[in-house]
Chains A and B, each alone.
Chain A
Amino acid sequence: MIDFVDEIKTIQHEIVSWRRELHQIPETGHDIPNTAEYIKKQLKEMGIPYKDNIGGLGIAAVIEGSFAGKTIAMRADMDALAVEEKTELPFASKNGNMHACGHDAHMAMLLGAAKVLNSHKAEMSGKIKLIFQPAEEGPGGAKPMIEAGVLEDPKVDAAISIHVGDIFPGVVNTGNIGICYGTVQACLDRFKIKIKGKGCHGAMPHTGVDPITIAGHVINALQTIVSREVKPTNPAVVTIGKLHGGSSYNIIPDYVELEGTARAIDQGEREKIAAHIESIVAGITRGMQGDYEYEYIFGYPPMKNDPEFTKDMVESIKKVVDEKDIVEIIEPTMGGEDFAYFLLEVPGTYMYLGTNNPEKGIVYPQHNAKFDVDEDLLWKGGAVMAQGAWDWLEKNK
């Protein structure tokens, strides 16, 4: 029996070192050349073969066991945010970007798990595919990698990943592992509405069609989608984040532009929301003698964990942490995550490691300029992934 906890703890200092080095070279979106080079360098040192430039700068490495078996993917995202860091950590970023969502920790934990698993490949049945993907924060790196074939050759049969931070405040606390047996994150969709009126002098409203007044009614009516159209037990959000129109206080403009996001946990509800928005916009704009343009962009889908897979995963997690530290997430978050695309393709689960630690003053939320993680907990993430992958390969060989 391999003691993954002990082996990962032994390389905890390396995980921390990788995390700190990555923390100093944050890059955003798909444009992450230095980060990708860094990962490739570590994989090379470990002697793990990889393919690069998958769907952009994505990387996939394979640890091949000596015995036949299935293939499980472990995924880490590599991108940072355009946030100027204000942590004052000795290894704080100085390039204007920041790993304010913990993806540096994700990469470091995955490298840690990879190192340990690679040292046991002689005893391993099946294969482990390490996926390092760009652009989780947008515009999305998972889908392009899948389209480029990352789940083929060898064909992936299951997938796991983990997120650090404080995504479920008060639920997944310091050192806890959060798991969920179903949909745990919402879709991340975007819509654009152009409300078209007919501009005229502000003192002569009857000579035009006022798109601002129409926009008011549209904004109000859109809020009834969640309150009146969606089943009360189905979480959903319709948010308008941007609202722009007009150039002068006394001129009725030709149009007003709105942009927003829609979130839902249920795929059917999501499709209904997309249709309801257009139905409301069409009815109100035309009823008020205006017109509209509408675009709904289906982004990341809702992220649905496989319940059977997750049950097995929990058994593995119990080998790593105390049972009391395993928390079942009942209420999903309305935030999106593009690991969802992997879970549309294969069974798997997405887990959460609580790395905020009020005792150490690590209390800031994700995307905050002072966000940090309790590095002392990073071994746990590596161990959960290694143990989970190993056990699943053993069970399914």
Chain B
Amino acid sequence: MFDVAKELKDIQQDIVKWRRDLHQIPEIGLELPKTAAYVSEQLTKLGIEHITGVAGYGIVGLIKGGREGKTIMLRADMDALAIKEETGLPFASTNGNMHACGHDTHTAMLLGAAKILNKYKDELKGNVKLIFQPAEEGPGGAKPMIDAGAMENPKADACLGLHIGVIFRELKEGQIGVHYGNIMACLDSFKIRVKGKGCHGAMPHTGVDPVAITGQVISALQTIVSREIKPTSPAVVTIGKLHGGSAYNVIPDYIDIEGTARALDNETREKIASSIESIVAGITKGMHGDYEYSYTFGYPPVVNNAEFTKGFVESAKKIMPEEDIFEIKEPTMGGEDMAYYLNMVPGTFFFLAGGNEEKGITYPHHNSRFDVDEDVFWKGSALMVQGAVDWLENN
């Protein structure tokens, strides 16, 4: 078998170029015409067969191995954020959007992995499917691509994806973080309309005050995490928006509340969804009001497959020293739509440290000065290649 690390180090400059090219054309959400065209162009140049226009601007590439076997999918997200870049980099974006979460590097690293996998495809025992998806930052690109059949024909049997940056600050330069279970939270949203009966502010007894009800609802919702959820199950209920009323002296008809709920497992998540309604219903009706409620189950929790992850760690040891493979202890409450693929097939989502204090690369994700240490790109690609090759070989 070929030397994966050496092959990837040799094309490090290609990966950097792709990343910088992509960095200058950031697009957001589901609308990624330029980014998708760029990726398709590179895949064509590499001679890799691919389908464009999957659920919008999604791309599915396929590298057929020389030997019969299973199919593993490698995933990168392509979308940027509506943030005005302030890095001062020579290749900084000037179009008002910014790759402030590193998806430009994900796409570039997957192209790097694809180049080497394609070069050695005759040796592969099975196929590698490449998924380039839009809208990870919202409204979600994984689910539409799966719904459009991205994981079929050939059917994906496992999946692998990575995230660069500083999501887990405990990772030191050059390290990767792995986790054997629930590593990121669900990303759910809810809307509540607390309905009262408007009246003159000086005559509260002639109406039903939705503001007073809302106060009780806000307070009681915080008891879901503190009283209803098992203390060892991480969970968050946040109200981010709260609007109602138009005049200081008029009791309004209703108050609108919007929030997000996070949990690491589906059971907790479903409990939160029903507890919110139960509290809202009890308080609003007990106080002579009423309510409307909708809970949107968004990205599910990201759940890595323990067996798959163990195998992946063995592959990683071939790329980097064992002490640089770090087991993440505490999950993050952030969400990731990689979760949908991991719901379908076993796989893992790992984290590549992209910060570098010596180089002044310290800004957090979604910051207008966010950057990554480009020197780690080869490693991200190599880990995907080694992980894919080994898994196909062992299955």
Contact = CB atoms under 8 A, between A and B. Distances in A.
A205 B239 CA distance: 10
Contact of B251 (A191, A241, A249): A241
Most buried by A among B190, B214, B240, B244: B240
B258 A249 contact: yes
Contacts of B215: 215-220, 223
A123 to B, nearest CB: 43
Interface string A223-239: 10000000000000101
A241 B252 CA distance: 6
A192 B240 CA distance: 21
A143 B256 CA distance: 38
B240 A244 contact: no
B203 A241 contact: no
A155 interface: no
A334 B222 contact: no
Interface string A247-263: 11111110010011101
Interface stretch (B27-35, B117-125, B204-212, B337-345): B204-212
Nearest to B245: A242
B202 A186 contact: yes
Contacts of A213: 218-219, 222, 239
A263 B238 contact: no
B85 to A, nearest CB: 20
A246 interface: yes
A216 B219 contact: yes
A225 to B, nearest CB: 12
A246 B240 contact: yes
A242 B238 CA distance: 21
A237 B202 contact: yes
Interface residues of A, number: 45
Interface stretch (A53-61, A196-204, A304-312, A371-379): A196-204
B242 A334 contact: no
A212 interface: yes
Nearest to A187: B202
Contacts of B335: 203
A203 B202 contact: no
Contact of A219 (B187, B190, B204, B211): B211
A203 B333 contact: yes
Contact of A220 (B216, B258, B260, B332): B216
B202 A333 contact: yes
A246 B185 CA distance: 22
A239 B209 CA distance: 9
A274 interface: no
Nearest to A250: B260
Most buried by B among A239, A242, A253: A239
B247 A242 contact: yes
Contacts of A215: 215, 218, 242
B201 A202 contact: no
Nearest to B366: A201
Interface in B208-263: 209, 211-212, 214-219, 222, 236, 238-252, 255, 258-260, 262
A378 B153 CA distance: 86
Interface in B305-359: 332-335
A212 B240 contact: yes
Given A239-B209, A243-B214, A243-B255, A250 B242 contact: no
B238 A237 contact: no
A259 B203 contact: no
Given A202-B240, A202-B260, A212-B240, A190 B218 contact: no
20 contacts: A186-B202, A190-B248, A201-B334, A213-B218, A213-B222, A220-B212, A223-B212, A223-B215, A237-B204, A239-B201, A241-B211, A241-B245, A244-B245, A245-B243, A247-B241, A249-B241, A250-B238, A252-B238, A261-B248, A261-B249
